[in-house]
C-alpha cells in the first residue's frame, strides 16, 4: 500500500467528509475553532491513529441508520399492504359468490377434458415411438412452378434471353445443338460433379446394400458447408447415392468415394479416366463432391456426361426423386430434391443435377423431353436463386415454339 503524504491527504478528506455527515459527535469536534490547528500539528503516525478513529466513528453509524431506514420501509410497506388488502378481500368475497355456478360447471366437464387430453397424449407417443424404415423415398408431382420462374413469349426463331453465363440445348436424337451460349468456356461445375461420382461408383459394381459410416474425413473443411448427416451416421451405398444426387449431400458423396477400393485418390483417378472415355477433353476432377473449384468443365463436355448418366437406371431414379424421409440416428429428417422442376407436371425429366459454389454460380443440368424428344439442358453460372430454373423454363418454351 502507498503511504505517501498524498495518500493520507486524500484518505483524510474522505474520512472527514463522510464522518462529518454521519456522526454528530465528530461533526461537533470538527466545528470547534481549534480543530484545524490540532490537525496541522499532528505527526504522521498520530494523524494515522486519528484517521482510524474518524473512520470508525463515521462508518459505525451506517448499520444503525440502515436498520432504521429498513424499519421505516417495512412499516410503510406494511401499511400499504393492509390498505390494499381490505378492498381486495371484499372483491374476492363478491367474486367467489358469483363464480359458484361456473365452478360447478367446470367440475362436470373435467373428466371429459382429462380423457381427451389422455387420448391425444397417447396418440402422439404412439406416432413418435414408431420405428419406420430407415429410408422412405417417394416421387411426388406437385403444382406447377409460378410464372416468374421463367416464361418465354417471343416469336419462333428469336433468342430465349437466358441469364445464365453459359448454356447449351442439344437434341439427343440427332446431336444437334439447338441453342448455345459460351458452350466451350471452361468453368467450375460445383455439384454437377456428383453425376460423374455416381457413374464411377456404379461402374465398380460394389454391393449397394453395404453399410458404412459418415466420418470426420467426410466433413467439408474447404468451404465449411453444412450437413444434416452427423458424424457416425450409418448409410448403405444405395442411400448415400440417393442423398448425393437428390439433395446434393456432400458428406454422402464423399463417403461414396472414400469407400471405393483405393480410397479417394483411386476414385478421383477413375473419375478422370471416365471423363476421357466420354470425350470430355476439357474437364478435370479433383474431388467427388464438387466443393473444389478445380473441378472444371464446359457446357459441351457436361452435355456428354448427362447423356451418359441417363443410361444408368439408379441415377435416373435417384436424381429425379422428389423427396425422401430418412432416419438419421433416431431422428426422422426430410430431404428434398434441389431441383424444384421435378415436382412440376410440365416437365418430363429423366436425369437432373444442380450445383452451387461461389466460383461456379448456380448451375443446372437435365435430360428432359421437349415435344416428346429427349434433350439435354446445360445452364451454368446463373445469378440469383431461381435464375437457373427460370432459364430452363424459358429454354423449354423456346424449343417448343421453334421445334413444333
> pLDDT tens digit string along 326-372?
888 888 999 999 999 999 999 999 999 999 999 999 999 999 999 99
The candidate with the shortest Cα–Cα distance to 192, out of 326, 399, 388, 393, is 388
Within a domain: 394: yes
Say if 397 falls within a structural domain: yes
Number of domains making up the chain: 2
Three-class DSSP category at 371: coil
pLDDT tens sequence across 129-141: 233 336 654 555 4
Last-in-domain residue among 83, 101, 126: 83
Backbone angles phi, psi at 140, to 5 degrees: -135, 135
Domain end call among 62, 83, 104: 83
- Same-domain pairing of 142 and 246: yes
Do 402 and 158 meet the contact criterion of CB atoms below 8 Å apart? Answer: no
Residue 122 lies in a domain: no
Residue 403: the pLDDT is 74
Assess whether 192 and 65 both reside in one domain: no
Helix (H) or strand (E) holding 369: strand 361-370
> How large a percentage of the chain has pLDDT more than 70?
60
Q: Is 61 in the same domain as 183?
A: no
| pLDDT for the residue numbered 139 | 54
Whether 387 is covered by a domain: the verdict is yes
pLDDT of residue 330: 84
Please count the residues of the chain: 404
- What is the domain-level CATH number for residue 145? 3.40.710.10
* Pair (72, 150) in one structural domain: no
- Tell me how far apart the alpha carbons of residues 12 and 55 are, in angstroms, rounded to a whole number: 9
In a domain, 17, yes or no: yes
Claim to verify: residue 263 and residue 156 sit in the same structural domain: yes
**Angle subtended at Cα 205 by Cα 201 and Cα 206, rounded to the nearest 5 degrees:** 75
The answer to whether position 251 is within a domain reads: yes
150 and 76 housed in the same domain: no
Domain boundary among 83, 114, 147: 83
Condensed to tens digits (0 to 9), the pLDDT of residues 146-183 reads 333 444 445 555 678 888 999 999 999 999 999 999 99
Domain identity same for 265 and 388: yes
Average pLDDT rounded to a whole number, residues 270-282: 98
pLDDT digits (tens, 9 = 90+) for 97-142: 444 443 333 334 444 444 444 443 333 322 232 333 366 545 554 4
pLDDT at residue 402, as a whole number? 85
Q: Please check whether residues 65 and 145 belong to one and the same domain.
A: no
- pTM across the whole model: 0.65
On the CB side of 230, CA atoms within 13 Å amount to: 8
Q: Are 398 and 285 members of one domain?
A: yes
Kindly state whether residues 147 and 217 are assigned to the same domain.
Answer: yes
Position 196 scores a pLDDT of 98
| Stretch 201-223: mean pLDDT | 97
Residue 223 domain flag:
yes
Q: Which residues are catalytic?
A: 191, 194, 248
Tell me the residue range of the domain where 43 lies: 1-83
Is 146 inside any structural domain?
yes
Q: Are residues 231 and 378 in the same domain?
A: yes
The reply to whether 142 and 218 lie within a common domain is yes
**Strand, coil or helix: what is 331?**
strand
Q: What is the pLDDT of residues 304-335, one digit of tens each?
A: 999 999 999 999 999 999 999 988 888 899 99
Amino acid at each position: 500500500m502507498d503511504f505517501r503524504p498524498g495518500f493520507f491527504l486524500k484518505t483524510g478528506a474522505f474520512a472527514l467528509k463522510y464522518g462529518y455527515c454521519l456522526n454528530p459527535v465528530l461533526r461537533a469536534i470538527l466545528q470547534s475553532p481549534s480543530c484545524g490547528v490540532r490537525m496541522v500539528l499532528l505527526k504522521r503516525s498520530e494523524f494515522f491513529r486519528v484517521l482510524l478513529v474518524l473512520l470508525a466513528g463515521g462508518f459505525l453509524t451506517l448499520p444503525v441508520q440502515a436498520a432504521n431506514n429498513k424499519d421505516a420501509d417495512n412499516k410503510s410497506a406494511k401499511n400499504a399492504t393492509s390498505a390494499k388488502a381490505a378492498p381486495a378481500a371484499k372483491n374476492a368475497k363478491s367474486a367467489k359468490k358469483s363464480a359458484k355456478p361456473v365452478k360447478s360447471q367446470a367440475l362436470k366437464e373435467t373428466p371429459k377434458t382429462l380423457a381427451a387430453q389422455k387420448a391425444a397424449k397417447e396418440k402422439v407417443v404412439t406416432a413418435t415411438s414408431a420405428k419406420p424404415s430407415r429410408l422412405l423415398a417417394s416421387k411426388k408431382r406437385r403444382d406447377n412452378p409460378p410464372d416468374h420462374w421463367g416464361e418465354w413469349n417471343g416469336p419462333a426463331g428469336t433468342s430465349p434471353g437466358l441469364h445464365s453465363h453459359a448454356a447449351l440445348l442439344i437434341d439427343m436424337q440427332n446431336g444437334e445443338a439447338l441453342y448455345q451460349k459460351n458452350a466451350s468456356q471452361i468453368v467450375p461445375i460445383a455439384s454437377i460433379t456428383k453425376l460423374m461420382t455416381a457413374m464411377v461408383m456404379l461402374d465398380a459394381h460394389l454391393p449397394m446394400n453395404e453399410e458404412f459410416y459418415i466420418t470426420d474425413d467426410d466433413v467439408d473443411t474447404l468451404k465449411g458447408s453444412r450437413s444434416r448427416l452427423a458424424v457416425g451416421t450409418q448409410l448403405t451405398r444405395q442411400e448415400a447415392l440417393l442423398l448425393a444426387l437428390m439433395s446434393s449431400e456432400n458428406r454422402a458423396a464423399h463417403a461414396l468415394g472414400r469407400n471405393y477400393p483405393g480410397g479417394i485418390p483411386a476414385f478421383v483417378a477413375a473419375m478422370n479416366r471416365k471423363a476421357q472415355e466420354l470425350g470430355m477433353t476439357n474437364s478435370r476432377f479433383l474431388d467427388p463432391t464438387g466443393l473444389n473449384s478445380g473441378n472444371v468443365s464446359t457446357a459441351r463436355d457436361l452435355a456428354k456426361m448427362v447423356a451418359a448418366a441417363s443410361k444408368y437406371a439408379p441415377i435416373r431414379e435417384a436424381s429425379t426423386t422428389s423427396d425422401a424421409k430418412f432416419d438419421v440416428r433416431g431422428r426422422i429428417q426430410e430431404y428434398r430434391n434441389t431441383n424444384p422442376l421435378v415436382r412440376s407436371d410440365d416437365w418430363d425429366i429423366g436425369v437432373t443435377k444442380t450445383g452451387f459454389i461461389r466460383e461456379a454460380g448456380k448451375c443446372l443440368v437435365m435430360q428432359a423431353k421437349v415435344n416428346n424428344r429427349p434433350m439435354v439442358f446445360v445452364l451454368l453460372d446463373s445469378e440469383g436463386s431461381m435464375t437457373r430454373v427460370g432459364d430452363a423454363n424459358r429454354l423449354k418454351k423456346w424449343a417448343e415454339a421453334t421445334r413444333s
